[in-house]
Amino acid sequence: MIFLKSTGIVRTIDKMGRFVIPKELRKTMDLTSPADALEVFVDDDKIVLRKYSPSCIFCQSLDNVVDYAGKKVCAECIRKLYEKIDTSETAKTVAAEQ
């Protein structure tokens, strides 16, 4: 369950589906540059906006993230995947030799 803090701010949506995030809230959330992006989530009947930061698709870490095939993956998850692949390949090799 997500617990949301009410700001008491109500905004209307224009004909193009847009609304304005108040300046104070943009400042608080460090959304000060036109290049800042937001992620949009849906939770039942709620729309949740979060400042976008490129995090790992597996563990959501922001440390040592690289882009692979359009997906963000951290170095730790890459290491774990490599170990899993290496272990699987070793098991197949041993089974084939028996």
Convert the pLDDT of each residue in 35-83 to its tens digit. 889 989 898 898 988 888 888 999 989 899 998 888 889 999 999 999 9
Does a structural domain hold residue 58? no
pTM above 0.75, yes or no: no
33 and 3 housed in the same domain: yes
Amino acid 2: pLDDT: 61
Q: Provide the number of structural domains found in the chain.
A: 2
46 and 72 housed in the same domain: no
Domain hosting residue 44, numbered range: 1-52
46 and 70 housed in the same domain: no
- Cα dist. 22→14, 17, 66, 82 in Å? 15, 16, 33, 45
Does a structural domain hold residue 57? no
Q: In this structure, what CATH number is given to the domain that contains residue 21?
A: 2.10.260.10
Listed in sequence order, the residues at least 6 apart from 29 whose beta carbon sits closer than 8 Å to its beta carbon are: 51
Does a structural domain hold residue 59? no
Instruction: Tell me which residue has tokens 């709620």.
Output: 46
